[in-house]
Amino acid sequence: MPNLETDTAARIALLKAWLTPRLSSEQTAWLDSQLAKVADAPDSSALAVGIGLAPRKLGKADLALSQAELQEAENIRPDLDPTGWSIDQTARMLFVLASFDGDDEAFAARLGRLVAQGEVSEHIALLRGLPLYPAPAKLVPIAAEGIRTNILPVFEAVAHVSPFPREAFSEAQWNQMVLKALFIGSCLSPIQGLDERRNAELAEVLIDYVHERWAAGRPVSTELWRCVGPFTRKRDVGDLVKVLTGGDDQEKQAAALALAEAELPETQQALQAVPELAAAIRDGRLTWSGVKA
Amino acid sequence: MFIDPHAHMISRTTDDYEAMAKAGIVAVIEPAFWVGQPRTNPGSYADYLSHILGFERFRAGQFGIRHYCCIGLNSKEANNEPLAEAVMELLPGFAVKESVVAIGEIGYDEQTDLEDSYFRRQLELAKELDLPVMIHTPHRDKKRGTSRSMDVVEEHGLAPDRVVIDHCNEETVQEAKDRGFWVGFSIYPHSKMTADRMLNIVQQYGPEQLIVDSACDWGVADPLSVPKTAALLANGGIGEEAVRMVTYGNALAVYGKSGQMQDADWLQPDAIDQRTLYQGNTILRGGQTPRVE
């Protein structure tokens, strides 16, 4: 059983250690005093005020963490990926963490209120912080609401470079997230656990989506085939062969990778038509990470 | 480059945003106002405020337009006392959010006692938070209502150079200018002010303190009022620098006093904003001359 309070203290220390060398002594003094107010009275206005004022008090520069700092993150919170985090966003997460007083129900309710009354850059910061907060199971509804948005950066604050969906989403929520990413023009490769959480239901929904797009004369994302791969059914092989023969180079590579992952006699046979791609996949020269969105 | 410092974009279409960006508008200010019919509970008011600070800001950013807000309780809804009291509780938390450049638009509609009371309390809030103020002057009994608004501002000790008296006309410009306020003109086709009358006003009073806006909303309004007026002023012999003051510089000078709006926002956006909230202005990107059709 993880200890929420010890973990939270370590995470607070981690974020503070990132911020301090990037702030002036005056800025650090403001941050410390506001953090103390939040910790003293988590349900007072100090929390919303601290979150609201963070950009104007501390600026919005990128954190730009060093390798050593990133390694420290990995020790404290495995799979945390602070790529693209800024100073104000980090401070906002810090305020949220500082409001935790051991009551996880109250914490989830408080975070829900902050998101409900937040402006768009607050949404992004609060949701990027999801993997850091205590009581993750109670926060799933907030994350699920976050991916209902049509605001791309808010959606990506939940879905991209975060271990939260992989660890906490149900299969239905996961599948909704992947499909929604394609619908709103986001990309799949920054989603953590994309391969590990593939499933038959998702593959079936994606194939239906492909047929719908093709009927409308619209292209589909090359990345989509990655989520079909091992769950390719016999009746889907024709679709993959169509991409393999009629697609552009990127699409051909994606179709070949999906076919290679599907362990059906039909898929192995289809791959024989593209011996060069098949060889590149066999000896590891072509992998999903080489396929562009 | 133009700023439209009074635009209710929540009721405008994407066609408007496209046309505004094409005509050279780089920033808009959306004052909180009445939405055409009364809100009946504070929850819908809170959602409205987070909508203009959230989705609307994102929507503008997709067209390369920077979006700012004024936060306030409008005069019409100040007459619903239970609603108004609850909204007053919400305002401080919203007013400190990123991109809020003023308290507004506030002032008088019918000039009732309730309107007067909430106007005064919001002037105090602006003082406490050190924010500029945007004042809506009434449509009916305009001249006396405008004088009274300025009397009240002075009574509460706010510096006139931090206050915009908006929706002015030939009858109110002299007094507002003489008393040291910024003087806003809403170029709105069938009421308020027209572009050709604006030319006479700039010729007579000079460009100092004068600000042109569209006040475009759910009615028959023109979101291109600012660039169109600029063209008309230039054709009428007003110098380039003077046109720039009334359609860009003066608005930036007063609302910039909030610390939340500077030309770097659209000329050199922060890295974090470029990744998330702002797609960049195609006109600035392409280095083309803004034009109005």
Q: Which residue, A267, A248, A264, A266, is CA-closest to A256?
A: A267
Q: How distant is the Cα of A99 from the closest Cα of chain B, in angstroms?
A: 17
Q: How far apart are the C-alpha atoms of B259 and A7, rounded to whole Å?
A: 37
Burial category of A162 from C-beta neighbours within 10 Å (exposed 0-12, middle 13-18, buried 19 and up) = buried
Q: Are residues A130 and A9 part of one domain?
A: yes
Which helix (H) or strand (E) segment is B77 a member of?
none
Q: What 3-state DSSP class applies to B41?
A: coil
Domain stops at, among A145, A167, A189? A167
Q: How distant is the Cα of A33 from the closest Cα of chain B, in angstroms?
A: 18
pLDDT at A4: 65
Residue A97 in domain? yes
Q: Are residues A91 and A6 part of one domain?
A: yes
pLDDT at B282: 55
Q: How far apart are the C-alpha atoms of A247 and A227, rounded to whole Å?
A: 18
Confidence of residue B284 (pLDDT cuts 50, 70, 90): low
Q: Are residues A223 and A160 part of one domain?
A: no
* Contact across the interface for B273 and A123, Cβ inside 8 Å: no
Using CB atoms, which residue from B57, B259, B270 is nearest to A120? Answer: B57
| Number of separate domains in chain A | 2
Using CB atoms, which residue from B54, B90, B275 is nearest to A123? Answer: B54
Residue B290 pLDDT greater than 70, yes or no: no
Provide the β-strand partners of residue B102: B70
Q: Are residues A67 and A1 part of one domain?
A: yes
* Contact across the interface for B50 and A151, Cβ inside 8 Å: no
pLDDT tens column, B176-208: 999 999 999 999 977 778 888 999 999 999 999
Q: Are residues A257 and A214 part of one domain?
A: yes
Task: Assess B79–A contact: CB distance below 8 Å, yes or no.
Answer: no
Confidence of residue B278 (pLDDT cuts 50, 70, 90): confident
CA-nearest residue to B47 within chain A is: A117
Q: Are residues A153 and A64 part of one domain?
A: yes
Using CB atoms, which residue from A56, A61, A119 is nearest to B57? Answer: A119
pLDDT tens column, B227-268: 999 999 999 999 999 999 999 999 999 999 999 999 999 998
Neighbouring residues of B240: CB distance < 8 A, sequence distance ≥ 6: B234
pLDDT at A1: 47
Q: Which of B10, B91, B276 to mutate to test the interface with A (most CBs of A within 10 A)?
A: B276
Q: Which residue, A248, A241, A230, A237, is CA-closest to A291?
A: A248
Determine the residue type at A226.
Answer: R
The DSSP string of A219-251 is ---GGGGGGTGGG--GGGHHHHHHHHHHS-HHH
CA-nearest residue to A149 within chain B is: B55
Chain A residue numbers touching B276 (CB-CB < 8 A): 121, 124, 153
Find the domain containing B239 and state its range.
2-268
Residue A172 in domain? no
CATH of the domain at B87: 3.20.20.140
Determine the residue type at B181.
Answer: F
pLDDT at B273: 85
Find the domain containing A220 and state its range.
198-293
Identify the contact set of chain A against chain B, taking CB-CB distances under 8 A.
45, 48-49, 52-53, 55-56, 60-62, 84, 86, 88-89, 116-124, 151, 153-154
Q: For B136, list phi and psi in degrees, rounded to 5.
A: -85, 120
- Helices H / strands E in chain A, number of each: 16, 0
Q: Which of A117, A126, A152 to mutate to test the interface with B (most CBs of B within 10 A)?
A: A117
Residue A182 in domain? no
Residue A94 in domain? yes
Using CB atoms, which residue from A61, A89, A121 is nearest to B277? Answer: A121
Q: Are residues A293 and A217 part of one domain?
A: yes
Residue B6, CA atoms < 13 Å, CB-side half-sphere: 29
What ipTM is given for this predicted complex? Answer: 0.85
Q: Are residues A209 and A163 part of one domain?
A: no
Using CB atoms, which residue from A45, A86, A117 is nearest to B50? Answer: A117
Q: How far apart are the C-alpha atoms of A16 and A57, rounded to whole Å?
A: 15
**Is the separation of the CB atoms in B99 and B132 below 8 Å?**
no
Q: Are residues A6 and A132 part of one domain?
A: yes
Using CB atoms, which residue from A84, A119, A153 is nearest to B97? Answer: A119
* Contact across the interface for B272 and A118, Cβ inside 8 Å: no
The DSSP string of B210-236 is EEEE--B-SSS--TTHHHHHHHHHHHT
Q: How distant is the Cα of B47 from the closest Cα of chain A, in angstroms?
A: 7
Q: Are residues A145 and A276 part of one domain?
A: no
Average pLDDT of adjacent 10-residue blocks, chain A of 293 residues = 74 97 98 97 92 95 95 94 95 98 96 94 97 96 95 95 97 97 94 97 97 94 95 94 93 95 90 93 92 77
Task: Assess B264–A contact: CB distance below 8 Å, yes or no.
Answer: no
Number of CB pairs < 8 Å for A and B?
A: 67
Measured CA to CA in angstroms, residue A105 lies from A146, A147, B176 at distances of: 19, 22, 54
CA-nearest residue to A154 within chain B is: B276
pLDDT tens column, B66-81: 999 999 999 999 999 9
**Is the separation of the CB atoms in A93 and A125 below 8 Å?**
yes
Q: Which residue, B185, B95, B81, B190, is CA-closest to B133?
A: B95
pLDDT (mean) for B82-110: 95
CA-nearest residue to B53 within chain A is: A119
Task: Assess B263–A contact: CB distance below 8 Å, yes or no.
Answer: no
Q: How distant is the Cα of B42 from the closest Cα of chain A, in angstroms?
A: 12
Q: What 3-state DSSP class applies to B45?
A: helix
Q: How far apart are the C-alpha atoms of A116 and A157, rounded to whole Å?
A: 16
Q: Please tell me the pTM assigned to this model.
A: 0.90
> In chain B, how long is the greatest CA-to-CA distance?
53
Q: How far apart are the C-alpha atoms of B148 and B63, rounded to whole Å?
A: 39
Q: Which of B14, B57, B262, B272 to mutate to test the interface with A (most CBs of A within 10 A)?
A: B272
Burial category of B48 from C-beta neighbours within 10 Å (exposed 0-12, middle 13-18, buried 19 and up) = middle
Q: What 3-state DSSP class applies to A59?
A: coil
Task: Assess B55–A contact: CB distance below 8 Å, yes or no.
Answer: yes
Q: Are residues A121 and A81 part of one domain?
A: yes
Using CB atoms, which residue from B94, B98, B272 is nearest to A62? Answer: B272
Residue B284 in domain? no
| Number of separate domains in chain B | 1
Using CB atoms, which residue from A56, A86, A124 is nearest to B259? Answer: A56
* Contact across the interface for A153 and B54, Cβ inside 8 Å: no
Q: Are residues A116 and A238 part of one domain?
A: no
Q: Beta strands B2-4 and B100-107: pairing type?
A: unpaired
pLDDT at B194: 87
